[in-house]
Structure 1
Amino acid sequence: MEDAKNFFNIVFFIIMSVIAILSYIQARKTLFSPIKTEIFKVQIEEFKSVLAFFNKRNSTDFDNDFDFHKIMELNALRMQNEYVKLFFKDKITPSEKMLEFLETAGCGMIINQEQASKFFEVVTPETEASKVPNKAVEEEELTPAITLAKWNKFMLPGTEYTRKFHERMEELTKLAASPLLPKELTDLIYEFMGVIHENLGTVGKEVELAAKSMPEQFPTPREIVNFNPHWIWNKYNRSRKSTDEASAKILTFVNQHLKINEIMS
């Protein structure tokens, strides 16, 4: 009889323990469910921001979004202005409108190692002393051969970009840094940003390549005053990297992660 009593006591405590555990699990679900719901809502807003940026957009749309046409114009006119100063200094005066554009359109620039070593240096007393003007050099007459040789070494100090480009990259940086988005998605956003950054560098490269043909294409003041950077844009358009593939990867991930096709079917 005592054994039966002990047996039922054990069974009783086991059942009560199971009930207690199940009650705790249910209570925890009830307690944390509103929190999970709110987190999901905020996460959905982040996904909406990603879709708003990338959905139904192609390379042409991104060219406009990141202001690449204006960036090309800015860097090409910077090069053209240097060309005029070297070859036609006493014959052509740049317009105030163009000079104002060159002064105000840029927001910053990217610089490669070669540009940094040419245009920037660590300042020391020795380097300051070496900058004392040499009048003999300054007054040396630039013969056509010397002028051409000097121009063939032309290099932009950096590839300039606009405020609009900067703001769009900042927008992407914030999305990629969101703790609410899956790491796989933020990695894809960074990959897209890498393509944009690479294309910005390509603008500078194409402008520098175009500079080498300037003496042949614009040998006189009459031709250079009609300078238009569209031909450089065409060269850039053939050499730049398409954003379509990187953008499609992002949309595919969002589609699969949220099971949008299943929901819509």
Structure 2
Amino acid sequence: MNPSIASEATVLEIVSTGVQIAFWCLVGTLSLLTYLHAKRTVFQPLKTEVFKLQLTSLTRISEELHGKGEWELLQNFDLDNATHVNSWRILDQYARVVLRAESDLDVQLNALHLPDDDTSRKANGLIRDTQIKPNWKPFDASATHPESHRAQFTEMSGVLIPSQHSEFIMKLEALSADPLVPSAVTESLAELVRRARVNLVHIREVSREIAPELHDKYPTVEHINSATVSWIHNRWNSSREEMQPAAEKVLSIIRQYYEPDLIGFANRRKIGRTRSRGERAADRKSRRKRVSG
């Protein structure tokens, strides 16, 4: 083959390869630039809408817990009321087993339930009123010797669960089940719910603790008829888990997640000075990073 012809073919091959490489580099560059442009123009509105929906979900959670101290949280979960009623049930079961006395406690509790046609919620133990005062009467002649039955009562059986307690827990669990809620918020809400459930059944542990004391406090039916349950409630209250720290943790995580000092109005209106252009630019950059990230 003529050397000049071979040389020309080699040059053409090199040029063709170079053109192909340049073409694909150009295609890759254009694709990258198109993606970056779309990320700023097409994807950002979508992320902004997701951000708004997420903000709505977290606002609903915050509204349920914001500004509530220990007492308000106990009321939301109906724990104070439930403990009051279950304290009377401790005394009632003790009276039945040890003193062989029966009361009208069940009648009073049934009067506080929903109508009979709402059996599903009635079974959960709907309690709306704590003004309960049972009246015990002996039903067994052996009640004159309660010492023989003393060992038979060791703890309360079962715990009445108010429907308000169950409903508030289900409400919080439904809010935390939202896929837009960050996992850290979901986990902290789960801890709050756990404490509420543990505190409710803790009254049974209290009944086990005070069982040996009941015989000394209420040796006869006459003594138990003059009883109050405030001391049982106080025993429960002094040994239960606190609710407020768990609620505050939920709110703290929500505040950290959105950094309100950056995205809200706190930094836009500093008392006594005007924010610099650099500070405003830094805030805008931070917001763009959070929305696009």
TM over 0.5: yes
Contact preservation (8 Å) 1:72, 1:229:
no
Please list, as runs of the form range in 1=range in 2, the aligned pairs for 1:54-69 lying within 5 A after superposition: 54-69=65-80
**Is the aligned partner of 1:40 residue 2:51?**
yes
Q: Tell me the equivalent position of 2:124.
A: 107
Q: Tell me the equivalent position of 1:136.
A: none
Report SS of the residue matched to 1:80.
helix
Greater C-alpha Rg: 2
Q: Which amino acid aligns with 1:146?
A: S
Aligned-pair CA distance for 1:218: 2.3
List alignment gaps of at least 5 residues for structure 2. Answer: 1-10, 115-121, 126-139, 268-293
Aligned-pair CA distance for 1:227: 2.8
Contact preservation (8 Å) 1:199, 1:241:
yes
Report SS of the residue matched to 1:158.
coil
List alignment gaps of at least 5 residues for structure 1. Answer: 109-138
Asked which structure has the greater RCO (Cα within 8 Å, sep 6+), the reply is 1
Report SS of the residue matched to 2:72.
helix
* Distance in structure 1 (CA, Å) of the matches to 2:164 and 2:180: 26
Please list, as runs of the form range in 1=range in 2, the aligned pairs for 1:45-194 lying within 5 A after superposition: 45-89=56-100, 93-94=103-104, 97-100=107-110, 107=124, 143-151=145-153, 153=154, 155-194=155-194
Contact preservation (8 Å) 2:70, 2:243:
yes
Question: 1:150/1:25 Cα in 2 relative to 1: closer, same or farther (>3 Å)?
Answer: same
The superposition leaves residues 34-75 of structure 1 with CA deviations (integer Å, 9 ceiling, x where unpaired) of: 322221111111110121122111211111000012211221
TM-score by length of 1: 0.73
Q: Which amino acid aligns with 1:237?
A: N
Contact preservation (8 Å) 2:124, 2:163:
yes
* Distance in structure 2 (CA, Å) of the matches to 1:157 and 1:191: 26
Q: Which moved more, 1:240-249 or 1:38-47?
A: 240-249
The two structures, once aligned, show a CA RMSD in angstroms of 3.4
The superposition leaves residues 128-154 of structure 1 with CA deviations (integer Å, 9 ceiling, x where unpaired) of: xxxxxxxxxxx9967433122223x3x
Q: What is the number of equivalent residue pairs in this alignment?
A: 233
* Distance in structure 1 (CA, Å) of the matches to 2:79 and 2:109: 20
Q: Tell me the equivalent position of 1:248.
A: 248
Q: Which amino acid aligns with 2:108?
A: M
